[in-house]
Amino acid sequence: NAGVMQNPRHLVRRRGQEARLRCSPMKGHSHVYWYRQLPEEGLKFMVYLQKENIIDESGMPKERFSAEFPKEGPSILRIQQVVRGDSAAYFCASSNQGQGLYGYTFGSGTRLTVV
């Protein structure tokens, strides 16, 4: 059981490019959460997904950001036309129940740098 796998660990993109961040939840977990940690700031919720459904995207920026969790394969956080302000660590967590009432498992994060 490899836990929550995020890749890549580090991603460098030029302004205007697209960034794709992947998260494979823990085996048996069907709930995925994405969080962002801006430099020198705390973690902030972005989006909560179940397989093929977005449950809560109230933390997602209105433009350029999207997330999916298809029936097969990892969850993807996609950032189009990246800007310097998107540079941050993006963490994924998974749980086997909604609301994480039985706890969350976090991935190691993807550190995005926009140059």
Partner 1 sequence: KNEVEQSPQNLTAQEGEFITINCSYSVGISALHWLQQHPGGGIVSLFMLSSGKKKHGRLIATINIQEKHSSLHITASHPRDSAVYICAVLEGTSGSRLTFGEGTQLTVNP
Applying CB under 8 A, the residues found at the interface with partner 1 are 33, 35, 41-45, 48, 55-56, 58-59, 91, 93, 98-101, 103-109
Please say which residue, 74 or 107, places its beta carbon nearer to partner 1.
107
Q: How crowded is the C-beta side of 79, counted as CA atoms within 13 Å?
A: 27
Name the minimum Å distance from CB 48 to partner 1.
5
Residue 40: which residues within 8 A CB-CB, separation 6 or more? Answer: none
Short-list 7, 47, 26, CA closest to 102: 26
Name the minimum Å distance from CB 76 to partner 1.
19
Name the minimum Å distance from CB 84 to partner 1.
20
